[in-house]
Structure formats: C-alpha cells, structure tokens
Amino acid sequence: MKAIEFYNIIDGEIDELLEKYKDDVFIKKHKSSINNQKSYALLIWFLEFYGRKSNYADFITDGSDDSSCDIILDRLDNQGNQQFYIVQSKWNTSNNVEKDTNKDEILKSLSDFDTIMRGAKRNVNPILKEKLEKLDVHLKSNGEVKFIFLSLSQYRGGADDNIKTFTNHDDKISFEVIDINRIRTDYIDRKYKKIEPLNPLEKYLNPAEVPISIEIAQEHGNFIKIERPFEAYMVLLKPKCIYDLFDQYKFALFYKNVRNPLLQSQFNEQIEKTAIDNPAFFWYYNNGITAITYMLPSIGKNAVKIEVTGLQIINGAQTVYSIYRAYKNASPTKRKQMDSEALLTLRILKSGGKDFDLNVTRFTNSQNPVDDRDFCANDDIHIKLQNASYETKIWYEKRRGEFRITPADILKVPNFVLANVYLAYHLQDPVSVLKNHSQRKNSSKDLNFISQKDHKDGLYEKIFNEHTLFSDMLCAFYVFDTVSNTTSFSYAEMFETDIYHLLALFNVAFSKYIKNKFNDDIQVNKHIIRIYEKKEKEIILKTFKYVKQFLKEQIEAINSEADSMFELLFTFSFYEEIKESLDKIQIKPEDIDSVILTDEDKLGIIQK
C-alpha cells in the first residue's frame, strides 16, 4: 500500500465527512477553497480516529472569521492531570504526498503556536477566545501542552532543529508531527491487526520505568512467596485493580509480551462473559497473569496495597484487556458484584536478567503455539521492517497471526520466509538456511530468531541488524516468488527443492548479466523490484534457468553426484567453490537473453 494509495483512502473518508457535515458553517463559507474545506475535514477525521470524538464542534476553534484550522482539546492524562492539545492540520493534494512535508508550513505553525503561548493572538472568534482563556489559566498553573502538526505528506525531519528550539525552553511543552506514514501505521494497526495504536492525544507513562500501585485482595496474609533462585509472589487481584492498571497504562503494560491483546476475538468475548455472568467462576476458569518487575516489594501480612517498579505483563494480555472491557461496560451494581466474587491470580517475578526474563516469557506462553519469532517481534528492527513494508503490497508479518484481515491486493508474508530468502539471496548463505531447517525438524527451534548468545548456531544478529533493509528482503522474495510458485508459506513447503542455493547463485549471475547489459552503477535489487512489479518477470526466469543448468553441469563434473549434492547443500566451503566458478564466467547479455523458456518454466515451478 504505497503512500499515494493510502492517501486516496483517507481522502475518500475526508470527502465522506464533507458530505456528512455539508451544512457546517465553515464548510459552507469555504465552498470555493477545497484546501480549507479539506484541512477542516481532516481535523474532524483526526478527532474521530484518535480522539474518539464525534462532537467535533466543541473542539475545532475555527469560526466564520477564520481560515486556518485548529483544534484545542483538553484531556485528563492517566495520572488525572489536565493536558492541552493544540492541533493544526494541512491537507495537501495527491501530487505532494510523496514529497517532504513543507518546512515553511511547519515553521509557520511553530510561529502560530508561539503566538498562542504568549497570549498575543488577537481578533479571534468567541470559541477560540474561550479556549485560549482556559489555556492561559492552564499554563499559569504549570500545565502541560502538546502541539501537533497534522499533514498528509511525508515528514523526514527537515524541521527537527526548529522544533527542538521551540520546545527546549519549556519542559511543559512538546511538539509532534503526525504525517501520512504515521497515520498509515496506526490505521493498519486498528483496521487490520485489530489492536489499538498509540494515541497522540494521550500521555503515556512507561510502567517499566515508574512505580505502580497495586491493590491486592489479601486476607490475613493469604499469598505465596517464593525466595529462591529468584524472588516471586503469587497474589490475588479483583477486577477493579485490573481495570485501573489498564486504564492508566494501556498497551504499554504488554511491551515485552509476545502478543498484544486483540480488540475483539471469540476468546476475549468468552473471558468477558465469564467475568460478567459468572464472576464467582472466574478464578477456576482462568490461568491468571504473569508479570516481571525489577524491584519486587516485600509484602506484609496485612498489606492490601503494594508498590511495584518496572512492571511488565508477559503472559495474560488477553485476560487483562477482557476484564478491562467487561468492567468498563458494567453497571455500578454489576461492578460491585464482580469485585466481591471474581478473583484473578497474579504471579509477580523479580527479573533475573534478560535471558531469564526471555525464558520465563517463552515458557509461560508455551501452552499456546508460539514461534521463536514471536519473542522478538517487538524489537526495533522488526518494527522498522514492517513499517517499510507498508509502502509495498507485501506486508511483513513479524508475529504469528498479527494481521486479522488484509486488503484484497495485499499479501502478508511471515518474516521467517523473508529471513530465509534474504539469508540465501542477499547474505549469500543458503547453507545456513538448510542447516536451520534440519535442526528445526529435530528441536522446533528457528535459529533465524535465536541469538548466538543463546545457541552457538544462532543467526539472529547476522540477519537482523542495522544493515538489514526491507527492500533487500523484498527483492529476494520477488525472485523466490517468481520461480517457486509457493503461496501457502508452510514451513515444510519452503524446503522441497534446492531453491535456496539457486537463489544465491541467481544473485551472482543476474548481477553480472545486468551490469554487463547496462552499466556497473545500476542498482540490481531495485531493478529486480521494478521489473517484478511491472510484471516483466521473463528475464528472472531466464536467468534462473541459466543458473540451474550451470549448477547441473557442476554436479555432473563430479564423480559422485549424490555425495556432492549433499556437500553442496550442507557445506559452505563447497558452495563457495561453486559460486567462485560462476564468478569466473564472463556472462554476456546474450547468454541470458537467448535462453528459451518452456511452458513449464513460465509457470515458475522449480522441480526437485
């Protein structure tokens, strides 16, 4: 989903809002200015999507005498403190969606925001005047203000120095640019993953960094304490405690969890139903939740409230979210019943270091199918790769089942598939791909997602590092997809041929071919991506057939074909010899262009 495609989706929703609110005074006034109308409708969209506000007229400060579009919104944060949000939107035409956000527009917004801060804005409409008076009182009370510049272009940091200067003088002031890439990521989270994105109109406290107060349902020291090798407690909680925790810290509670809770699922609905209809049965039906903390308190016999620092829930995210929803939607009477009858077990473990914490996360989630890749899905590199994939029609699936639905023209590809083709094609290591597959059959471990610190053959750091680009993975996958005709992405199906060695050799041969045909400066991977997306795949198939014939000749030149094939598949030095032989060949353009493809070749099916 390229930026322009997503732009068209949002622009379509903006047009729907303009029709829905066609009798709005501002929209009527600016019939001749589509820019003003759509900037105004973009604010309405922003309030509905992030603020969950349908009564936009209470927050948009434009009146009949204004042409700029602003929101002044005050909300209570998760600590109960008031915070003001001031938003300025800039709608832009589709011609500008691929361009950098106009720096001058941001500078103008910064100037406008500075005027507001100094209380120097004059000749304003009554709605804005009232909001500014409240803002003035808020600022004099040492309150916090967040400024947001909202744009449907792409912000790449052009005004970062100016923004830093604007915010440096006051710790109570923050500034954020919400561009089309950020909106697209949040839109995908909510619509296709069914999880709630981080909201720019909320202030988040990291529960891993601050003390958290937990009310426990203890009677006369009714808890279990474990002392060795790591301290831990098992305590009971009431639904209100779970509700308060999630209400205050939201999804930040689960940053180290292998799964984020789904906004809606049949499993969640069953938990909610039990909590509401049969609260006394809840403890018997539910396994509870497990959390890790860096500073475990000592719990006294009569304690009903404890303070925990560095809390992360590593198992039970669905349970927490389901109880939160059930309690939030319950009547006051039903809440009292839930708190008097329902109990939930909480295991609090003191952190034993990164390795211990990871193993606890692994084993506490082992009752449900969890892949090795799930445990590193929240690493920055996978977030970066996934966000980059949203610019394409191939979406990077970083954890199992995270996309509940996808658009009709989008293919979600598991990152274990992308890791394998990238390792073979780009990193030129097909041998490790097959070795990993071989050991995976015996131990179920996927070395692509296991650190070398945890396993001597771990490949995680080799594959996923600062040099890993989604475009390189995409290129490798496009070649793989062209020649394999594989669509189900079952792990076993990925290894039915010697395709990974052929992928690696293809990279060598195609690079020589394309540079000889054009010039040494051509970017090979970008060229492959371009011809694939233009459906001009014939040259990929021709090169692949050339490489397959070359490999066959190399094998036939060796006395024992079976032994040599085994060596080729599992011995890196032998693969390097084959690669070196290919490197020595002067591949002329006509060597590839003259390859004749059969109907079977054109189907892209590689036989064993």
- Please report how many Cα atoms fall inside a 13 Å half-sphere around the Cα of residue 158, on the Cβ side: 14
Pairing label, strands 289-293, 312-315: antiparallel
Residue ranges of the domains in the chain? 3-193, 211-364, 372-603
* Torsional sign, CA 328, 333, 337, 339: positive
Task: Extract the residue ranges of the chain whose pLDDT is less than 70.
Answer: 62-69, 78-79, 120-123, 206, 208, 219-221, 256-268, 352-355, 357-359, 362-370, 485-498, 558-568, 601-608
Closest CA to 157 of 96, 106, 199: 106
> In this structure, what token pair is assigned to residue 304?
């009903």
> In this structure, what token pair is assigned to residue 5?
């495609």
Catalogue the E-assigned strands of 161-254: 173-178, 211-215, 224-226, 232-237
Q: What is the predicted pLDDT for the residue at 608? A: 38
Residue-wise pLDDT tens digits, 437-471: 887 777 778 899 998 888 889 999 999 999 999 99
Separation CA 579–CA 565 (nearest Å)? 14
Q: What is the predicted pLDDT for the residue at 64? A: 46
- Please report how many Cα atoms fall inside a 13 Å half-sphere around the Cα of residue 247, on the Cβ side: 17
CATH 1.10.287 assigned to 3-193: no
Cα 265 from chain centre: 20
Q: Which residues contact 400 (CB under 8 A, 6 or more apart)?
A: 369, 370, 371, 373, 374, 414
Ramachandran area for residue 52 (φ above 0: left; ψ -120 to 50: alpha; else beta): left
Cα 465 from chain centre: 17
Residue-wise pLDDT tens digits, 209-235: 778 888 888 765 678 888 877 788 888
Separation CA 533–CA 394 (nearest Å)? 11
Q: At how many degrees (to 10) do helices 332-341 and 317-329 cross?
A: 140
